[in-house]
Amino acid sequence: MSKLGTLGARLYRGEVGYDFVGKRKIWYGISILITITAIVGLAVRGLNFGIEFSGGAVFTTPKTPVSVEQAKRTAEETAGHPAIVQKLGNGTLRIQVSDLSTEKSIPTQKALAKKLDVPQDKINTDLVGPSWGDQIANKAWTGLAVFMLLVVIYLAIAFEWRMALAALVALIHDLTITVGVYALVGFEVTPGTVIGLLTILGYSLYDTVVVFDGLKEASKDITKQTRWTYSEIANRSLNGTLVRSINTTVVALLPVAGLLFIGGGFLGAGMLNDISLALFVGLAAGAYSSIFIATPLVADFKERDPQMRALAKRVAAKRAATAKAEGGAEPEDERPDARDESGDTATAGIVHQASPRNRGGRGRPSGKRR
Classify residue 336: in a domain, yes or no. no
Q: So what's the pLDDT on residue 39?
A: 92
Domain termination site, one of 306, 340, 360: 306
Q: Measured between alpha carbons, how far is 345 from 222 in angstroms, rounded to an integer?
A: 15
Domain that holds residue 200: 8-49+132-306
Non-local (6+) Cβ contacts of 107 within 8 A are 78
Q: What percent of the chain has pLDDT over 90?
A: 10
Q: What is the count of structural domains for the chain?
A: 2
pLDDT at 353: 41
**Do 27 and 87 belong to one domain?**
no
CATH of the domain at 110: 3.30.70.3400
Number of helices and strands (H, E) in the chain? 13, 8
Angle subtended at Cα 349 by Cα 346 and Cα 351, rounded to the nearest 5 degrees? 70
Read off the pLDDT band of 259 (50, 70, 90): confident
Structure confidence by residue, pLDDT tens digits, 221-237: 888 888 889 998 888 88
For residue 301, the model assigns a pLDDT of: 92
Task: Please determine, for residue 69, whether its predicted confidence score (pLDDT) is greater than 50.
Answer: yes
Question: Residue 218 and residue 95: Cα distance in Å, rounded?
Answer: 57
Q: Are residues 120 and 154 in the same domain?
A: no
End residue of a domain, out of 77, 95, 128: 128
* Whole-prediction pTM: 0.71
Cα–Cα dist 226/358, whole Å: 16
How sure is the predictor about 344, in pLDDT bands with cuts at 50, 70 and 90? Answer: very low
Decide if pLDDT at 4 tops 60.
no
Q: What is the mean pLDDT of residues 199-223?
A: 83
Q: Given a cut of 60, is residue 88 above it in pLDDT?
A: yes
Note whether 56 and 100 are within 8 A (CB): yes
Q: Are residues 244 and 196 both part of a single domain?
A: yes
Q: Which of 36-40, 112-116, 148-152 has the lowest mean pLDDT?
A: 112-116
Q: How far apart are CA 60 and CA 75, in angstroms?
A: 12
Is it the case that residue 15 has pLDDT exceeding 50? yes
Question: Domain check: are 192 and 137 in the same one?
Answer: yes
Q: Is residue 106 part of a domain?
A: yes
pLDDT for residue 349: 37
The neighbour count for residue 304, using CB atoms within 10 Å, is 12
Residues 84 and 138 in one domain: no
Verify that 194 and 260 share a domain, yes or no: yes
Q: Do the domain assignments include residue 364?
A: no
Is 155 in the same domain as 177?
yes
CA distance 36 to 41: 9
Give the mean pLDDT of 162-179.
90
Find the length of the chain. Answer: 370
Is residue 17 within 8 Å of residue 154, measured between CB atoms? no
340 falls within a domain: no
Asked, for residue 299, whether it belongs to a domain, the answer is yes
* Cβ–Cβ < 8 Å for 162, 302: yes
In a domain, 2, yes or no: no
Residues facing 94 on adjacent strands: 60, 86
What is the average pLDDT across 124-137? Answer: 73
CATH of the domain at 188: 1.20.1640.10
**32 pLDDT more than 90:** yes
12 domain-assigned: yes
- Calculate the average pLDDT of the chain: 77
Both 32 and 143 in one domain: the answer is: yes
In a shared domain, residues 243 and 209: yes
Helix 270-289 with 161-185: angle, nearest 10 deg: 140
24, 103, 288 from 189: Cα distances, Å = 33, 26, 24
Q: Are 366 and 352 within 8 A, CB to CB?
A: yes
Task: Kindly state whether residue 75 falls inside one of the protein's structural domains.
Answer: yes
Report how far residue 352's alpha carbon sits from residue 10's, in angstroms, rounded to the nearest whole number: 10
Q: Do 48 and 276 contact (CB within 8 A), yes or no?
A: no
Taking residues 282-293, what's their average pLDDT? 87
Q: Are 167 and 281 in the same domain?
A: yes
What residues does 127 pair with on adjacent strands? 57
CA triple 145-176-81, angle to 5 deg = 90
The answer to whether 53 and 100 have CB atoms below 8 angstroms apart is: no
Same-domain pairing of 45 and 63: no
Q: In this structure, are 275 and 151 located in the same domain?
A: yes
Ramachandran assignment for 46, one of left (phi > 0), alpha (psi -120 to 50 degrees), beta (any other): left
Least confident of 48-52, 70-74, 106-110: 48-52
* Residue where one domain finishes, among candidates 272, 306, 340: 306
